[in-house]
Amino acid sequence: MEVRLEGLTKQFDETVAVDNLTVTLESGKLIGLLGPSGCGKSTTLYMISGLLKPTKGRIYFDDDDVTDLAPEKRGIGLVFQNYALYPHMTVLQNILFPLENLRINRKEALARAVEMAELVGIKELFDRKPSQLSGGQQQRVAIARALVKKPRVLLLDEPLSNLDARLRLQTREEIKRIQREVCITTIFVTHDQEEAMSISDEIIVMNKGVLQQKGAPQHVYNHPINLFVSKFLGNPPINTFEGSIKNGKIYVGDVELGVTKFKDQDVIIGIRPEDFRVDENGFMVKVDEIDCIGRDTTLHFTLGGKHTRALIPSDSVLGNPEYVHISVKPDKIHLFNTDEAGELVNE
């Protein structure tokens, strides 16, 4: 089912948590709401769930306007950040709890609970209390509890933040698999760009309550529309320089990086570390440090007065060279305006 937000705004006293958010979340996809802490992504999620009332704007599930509907009438499943499993109930009772509210008869409820438990792989844990489960298992129970009433939309609030690193990778795959199997629109919130990039079909990058960019993860990564998005995505982060365009050529200081069709102006140049390459015809840089980690090597050097990282294949440099000739892959230079918004240069 498609979720459509129109001009959604949420104001807490003085601060505007979400500012005029208009976006359509396609049906059956796994969508990641991504942004730094306090950018309003959780607020957006809770507004979709109905636990928070928007100050302005409408929320549509397909063509139904659900803005004024109570949470239980929207047909959503919500998984909380700390799972909110009832500590006094067993896993089975926890999963059955939503069904008891719907007054579904016990036999069918049990069948559905078993089906869900099999889906998330916790069937053998039915008689345990939440305190006897590991973080990952609790997470699965929470997902099963959210899914058991067959919601139209599944909402996950920071699903991986309470898990340790190894479990995080595992659960990531698990969430993706579960979403594929039940095939419902799933929206999850995260501040970890790697997490969002790895599992979502589509990501929505937000900052200070404002939508920045929406699209497939790889597309957003390759074509960030502003400086914030380019900086927020990618690890190691993008290198940025203050440079200028002169006669169709891009300069940082007096180093020429490439050509462009835009007019002469000052710009902020963003280059991802992996978009550098070793090139005999390129410019020469003095290597400050060189880290060789298996397949990739990180070169540290100073360009335009800024510390710069370049990620290059290990076999393209030999030994510990003092100077390296490098260049930038064509079409991989991102040019942003120097003003605060930092939009892409378009003229």
Partner 1 sequence: MSKSKVMWKRFRERLAEIRWEVRRRYYIFKENVNKKTAKPKAAVKGFFKKYLVQPFKKYICNPIKNGYVKFTKTKVGGFLHKYIFHPVAYFFNRFVFRPLGQVFNRNFFHAMIYLLPALILLCIFTFYPIINSIILAFYKNYTPVDKMFDGYTLDNFRDIIARPGFVAALRNTAIIVFISVPISVIISLFVAVMLNSIKRLKSFFQTIFFLPYVTNTIAIGLVFSYMFDYRYGLINKALKVLGIAAIHWKDAQASYFNAMTTLMIYIIWGSLAFKILVFTAGLQNIDKQYYDAAKVDGTTRWRIFRRITVPLLSPMIAYITITSLIGSFKTYTTVVAIYGEEGRTAGGKDLRTIVFYVYDYIMGGKALNPGELSRGAAASLILFGIILVFTLIQLYVSKKRVHY
Please give the structure tokens belonging to residue 32. Answer: 């990641």
In the region spanning residues 60 to 79, those forming contacts with partner 1, defined by CB under 8 A, are 70-73, 76-78
d(CA 157, CA 81): 5
Which one, 97 or 283, has the nearer CB to partner 1?
Answer: 97
- Residue numbers 5-34 binding partner 1 by CB under 8 A: none
For the chain, the farthest-separated pair of C-alpha atoms sits apart, in whole angstroms, at 76
The correct pick among 50, 270, 273, 342 for binding partner 1 (CB under 8 A) is: 50
Site for partner 1 in 95-134 (CB under 8 A): 97-98, 100-102, 129, 131
Q: Write the DSSP symbol of residue 132.
A: G
Q: By CB under 8 A, which span of 32-40, 61-69, 80-88, 310-318 interacts with partner 1?
A: 80-88
Q: Point out which residues pair with 30 in neighbouring strands.
A: 186
Query: Smallest gap, in angstroms, from Cβ of residue 80 to partner 1?
Result: 5
Instruction: Read off the DSSP letter of residue 326.
Output: E
Q: Structure tokens of 5?
A: 């937000």
Whichever of 84 and 169 has its CB closer to partner 1, that residue is 84
Q: What share of the chain is helix, strand, coil (3-state, %, to 5)?
A: 30, 40, 35
Q: Does 88 help bind partner 1 (rule: CB under 8 A)? A: yes
Query: Beta strand 265-271 with 56-61: parallel, antiparallel or unpaired?
Result: unpaired
**Minimum CB distance to partner 1 smaller for 39 or for 155:** 155
Task: Take residue 98 and report the two structure tokens written for it.
Answer: 């939503």
Task: Determine if 84 is a binding residue for partner 1 (CB under 8 A).
Answer: yes
Q: Which among 43-51, 169-177, 185-193, 259-267 is the span making contact with partner 1, rule CB under 8 A?
A: 43-51
Alpha-carbon distance 58 to 67, whole Å?
Answer: 6
Question: Shortest CA distance to 304 belongs to which of 267, 332, 279, 275?
Answer: 267
Give yes or no for residue 87 binding partner 1 (CB under 8 A): yes
Report residue 181: phi and psi, to 5°. Answer: -70, -45
Using the rule CB under 8 A, is 49 a contact of partner 1? yes
As given in the structure block, the two tokens for residue 83 are 């799972």
100 or 291, CB closer to partner 1? 100
Closer Cβ to partner 1, 146 or 335, answer by number: 146
3-state secondary structure 162-211: CCCHHHHHHHHHHHHHHHHHHCCEEEEEECCHHHHHHHCCEEEEEECCEE
The interface with partner 1 within residues 131-190 (CB under 8 A) comprises: 131, 149
Among 22, 24, 51, 265, binds partner 1 (CB under 8 A): 51
Shorter beta-carbon distance to partner 1: residue 66 or 233 = 66
The residues binding partner 1 (CB under 8 A) are 49-51, 70-73, 76-78, 80, 82, 84, 86-89, 97-98, 100-102, 129, 131, 149
